[in-house]
Structure 1
């Protein structure tokens, strides 16, 4: 879309986790390139994930998760949401925002409700294949609902006419390695295995992967080079376990260059959060996906099913993983480089590298000229 931002302000609202902030950052990068100014409305967790967010200002907005399971805390949570709504109205007015875009999580609820009541153009973006609870509440009130998957579940009937499929935007650091050539997997050469699980999944992989690696055939072990995200407190025991198996391993709680490491891998083992699925698709890497069990609305399971249906990876429910069986599956997979290469190509077809552009176009389409 040719229209330029001309210094107008767009406010982005997102819960302060990577799954919400990363696509918001990708849209912000695109909009800044089009001449818009950006403010971010979020919660305190932004300190962990928002260091490179291209916003002029970051506003911490009070919010709370609504749950009927703890009725005694409900009045206090409603008051926090109302306080966030009042602050959001004040910020949108005083900064003369021309649009508000939300990326899910309850911190996005007060800003988007405020935008709706002020008549400011707005949209919500859903990263998963199931509409999240905050986005479901907002979907009938906003101007547009942008989705990352076709046939997203739980969209209210009265909101279906607002739906636009854009894909899930990825950050510039991911686009920098988009469609990177799949590394050659020589019969005697190193096998690059990347393992990560985000804040909620790293502990599980720290427990699961060392016994699996120990159960691999010796000829696979000696070729294996593992890059794995581990919690700080798990690093010593995981490092020791891999050393006992004679396996090279680079372990860290956080890798600043994760997209580059993904591009250098032959296979990824990960949870199936929306950002992970999007980045695997843009880079083009095969993955064994272990959805976070008991995730709200089974969103990670649905994400992984979509990736597997595309031929890009393999879904392995956590409850069904057993050390010997998983090791045998992994060894067999690593012995078939052509199968991995085909899955990498399928992942690339599943990805949407132009999602940030499509989402920015959608936002510009709702602006008052």
Structure 2
């Protein structure tokens, strides 16, 4: 679907609200890029603390409004967060008057909440995108009043029965889409294993994976080529563990070429955040997933189980992720190349490489609906004196 048949789509911007982790920011930036490609105007909105949103799209206007996070705080902290959210709604109302958007899209997280609430007060079309297999807390707050909900998984917990939900998938980075063209090949003389656990690795992976690989049979261990991402404080001990076991390993605090490494690997060992599971599925690689035990509403377990149910992953809970258990899993997986190939195909079968296009289609359909054509209310006379709205020209 394109916007050429509806000039209103191109005249009024689409505001995208996100912040916090890369799990919210990456899909928002992917949608922004797709909307720009179709000729839309786009604005980005985050809170006054947010960093990183829009860095890959420096020419877009970036607006910052107040927001608060009430969870996990004392009663006084929750009250202050509520005040910040209320201030953010007032600022967001002013922003909507200034920009007069055609629609607002939220990607979860409390930085998106004030804009979503303000958009509903203005009766603007609102779409929320959920990256995980569990509807996040902010998305739950606005789900029943949203015009549309886009999900990444066919089964999403806490989704209201009455919600107008569409499965679009979770947009991934362009580098991942390029790497998805590389077909999976069974291990030959070398077996490549990629261990990743977020932007700086995960402590449990550093604690367990080197020992589990060292416990493999010598003929299997000699074939290993490991790349592991670690926290800076774990680098030297992980390198030493691999060297003592005679395992060839590339250990670093950050890999800037994760897409290429994913495409080249025979088995991924990873946490199961929304971005990681989406990228593994789009490229189509077998995986051993270790959900983060303290993730909100245990959403990482739900993400991992969705991939495992398709046949693309093995899941081990963190409290059962021991050297002995993981060594047994590695032995089973690495000793059966045909099974790895089947897992790769299964993972690819649930990947959604066209998620950004599907999400943009949904935004355009929502804008085009007759009920959504009502323009934003005129800006209040006090808009110019509202100090809470900060516009950054990144």
Report SS of the residue matched to 1:3.
coil
Q: Which residue of 1 aligns with 2:224?
A: 224
Residues 41-76 of structure 1: per-residue CA shift (max 9 Å, x gap): 224675457532466122333222223762121111
Name the CA shift for 1:196/1:48 in 2 (closer, same or farther; >3 Å): farther
Q: Which residue of 2 aligns with 1:153?
A: 157
Which has the higher mean CA deviation after the structures are superposed, 231-240 or 39-48? 39-48
Q: Which residue of 2 aligns with 1:165?
A: 167
Q: Which residue of 1 aligns with 2:26?
A: 22
The answer to whether residue 185 in structure 2 is matched with residue 183 in structure 1 is yes
2:105 maps to which of 101, 108, 115? 101
Which has the higher mean CA deviation after the structures are superposed, 175-184 or 347-356? 175-184
Q: How many residues align?
A: 365
Aligned equivalents of 2:356 and 2:179: distance in 1? 16
After TM superposition, list the pairs within 5 Å mapping 1:1-369 onto structure 2: 1-4=1-4, 6=10, 8-43=12-47, 47-48=51-52, 51-53=55-57, 56-67=60-71, 70-157=74-161, 159-160=162-163, 162-186=164-188, 189-199=189-199, 202-367=202-367
Higher Cα Rg, which structure: 2
Residues 300-344 of structure 1: per-residue CA shift (max 9 Å, x gap): 111111111101111111111221231122022112111101100
Name the CA shift for 1:203/1:344 in 2 (closer, same or farther; >3 Å): same
**Long gaps (5+) in structure 2:** 374-394
Q: Which residue of 1 aligns with 2:382?
A: none
Task: Please tell me the root mean square deviation across aligned C-alpha atoms, in Å.
Answer: 2.0
Name the CA shift for 1:293/1:68 in 2 (closer, same or farther; >3 Å): closer
**Long gaps (5+) in structure 1:** none
Report SS of the residue matched to 1:59.
strand
Residues 238-261 of structure 1: per-residue CA shift (max 9 Å, x gap): 122212222222222222221121
Report SS of the residue matched to 1:353.
coil
Output the TM-score relative to the length of structure 1: 0.93
Q: Retained in 2: the 8 A contact 1:169–1:353?
A: yes
Name the CA shift for 1:98/1:104 in 2 (closer, same or farther; >3 Å): same
Output the TM-score relative to the length of structure 2: 0.87
Name the CA shift for 1:148/1:209 in 2 (closer, same or farther; >3 Å): same
Quote how far apart the aligned CAs of 1:184 are: 3.8
Aligned equivalents of 1:351 and 1:55: distance in 2? 30
Aligned equivalents of 1:275 and 1:303: distance in 2? 10
